[in-house]
Amino acid sequence: MKYEIGMIGLGVMGRNLALNMERNGFGVIGFDIDPVKRQAAVEQFVGKQISVAQSLSEFFAALRSPKIVWLMVPAGKPVDAVIDAIKSFLKPGDLIIDGGNSHFTDSERRWKSLKKEGLLFIGTGVSGGEEGALYGPSLMPGGEPAAWPLVENIFKTIAAKTDEGAVCAEWIGEGGSGHFVKMIHNGIEYADMQMIGEAYFLMDRILHFKPEKMSAVFARWNKGKLNSYLIDITARILAEKDTKTGKAMVDVILDRAGQKGTGKWAAQTALDLGVPAQTFAEAVFARFMSALKQERLMASEILAGPKPDFTGDPQAFIDEIAQALYAAKICSYAQGFQLMRSAGKAYGWKLNFASVASLWRAGCIIRAQFLDAIRHAFERNPELNNLLLDDYFKEILVQTHPIWRRVIIRAVEFGVPVPALSSALAYYDSYRSARLPANLLQAQRDYFGAHTFERIDAPEGRFFHHQWNG
């Protein structure tokens, strides 16, 4: 039997994707350099039409031509090492797919390098975690356009589907564009998670709600405009009990967050491209701050803060938090799409933002009801510079921003850190400001470094230097 596709990397994600493909009628052969993972795959694949090769030569001998090889190995040097190890088994027209969380610049480099050798390359974002890989992920493929027809049927068959039947797999563009879009997805994911955490913290610190009570709040939110995967699992998490202590599970988890770096990449890329994405950065910095656990414990005994008592209607405040969270979420997504627009211009990618929003409606971590509204916004105006300028989102923010401000004020009064919620508000206020204090900044730069400035009464692009007194 000649198999349609091969999977190299039989960790949980690789095995689950293989099982997904097999369940959908595709012949799959797998390989992993680690004999322990090979054996685990053999045991998991019992009764399935999936083989596990014991060597690369056996693996490639079992693949039909053109050979399609999907890599699910750790990003970075391991991907390059595997590509180097398998190139001798491949011929022009064969295809390598990198489905890991690779940096988009690595995918851009690999695409160009393999193209010179006649080999096809796809770097695809895969979102949805272990469950998504098994039952339907969101797939964001980019790379060599000639490769897409070889795998379009596989990708669209195994991908997540919305309730209306829309497929969450579509071609993104050339080079590293697929992994770029996945990186932006993860930047939004970081921001979403941080903002949800801040909403939880406001209820915890100000209202002194127990996790079970907050679970009911998030469950109610999930039935409205905040409906999303992350809100849903937050409600479930807050309802969970620790079997060892009987306490709420969330209360026995140390407040020190980990990360794999993709959110940081999104923030770094925003800096590289000169695009404001402060909410992404604040979400990353919040994780860095959480890592300073021992210092925070010490500082909590030394540094003073406010300790007021809450007065007012708790339910009204909860409703205000929900509206602030929704408004901040809009601004976070606006930053992500603004960053993709800038990258498209910088790298020559023709990104379809309505399609991107559609890809994220099922299967992925940031899947949410309001992605339909984003899709419609870009369908109405594919050239939309910023989501905040769309009539639908503009109207929401006009109605919501006073409430959002009250929530931030209350957080400041109580000394509750809300860096993501407040940075999103700063983004909104900065974007709507016809004038910012950058004129003073430019004067300072010219004063100490003769860096020049533009004048409001001169054509754009003409620069001047002033001989400052003193």
**Could you give the residue numbers annotated as active site?**
182, 189
Query: For strand 173-174 and strand 68-71, is the pairing parallel, antiparallel, or unpaired?
Result: unpaired
**Strands annotated E in 81-186:** 95-98, 120-127, 138-143, 173-174
Closest of 75, 67, 82 to residue 33, by C-alpha: 82
Closest of 391, 266, 403 to residue 321, by C-alpha: 403
Tell me the chain's radius of gyration from C-alpha atoms: 25
Q: Which two tokens stand for residue 122?
A: 């796809």
| Phi, psi angle pair for 173, to nearest 5° | 160, -170
Largest Cα separation within the chain, whole Å, is 84
Q: What is the distance between the alpha carbons of residues 430 and 436, in angstroms, rounded to a whole number?
A: 7
Cα separation of the two ends of the chain: 84
Tokens 């910095």, residue? 285
Q: What is the distance between the alpha carbons of residues 121 and 115, in angstroms, rounded to a whole number?
A: 8
Q: What is the SS3 assignment for 270?
A: helix
Q: What is the distance between the alpha carbons of residues 89 and 71, in angstroms, rounded to a whole number?
A: 15
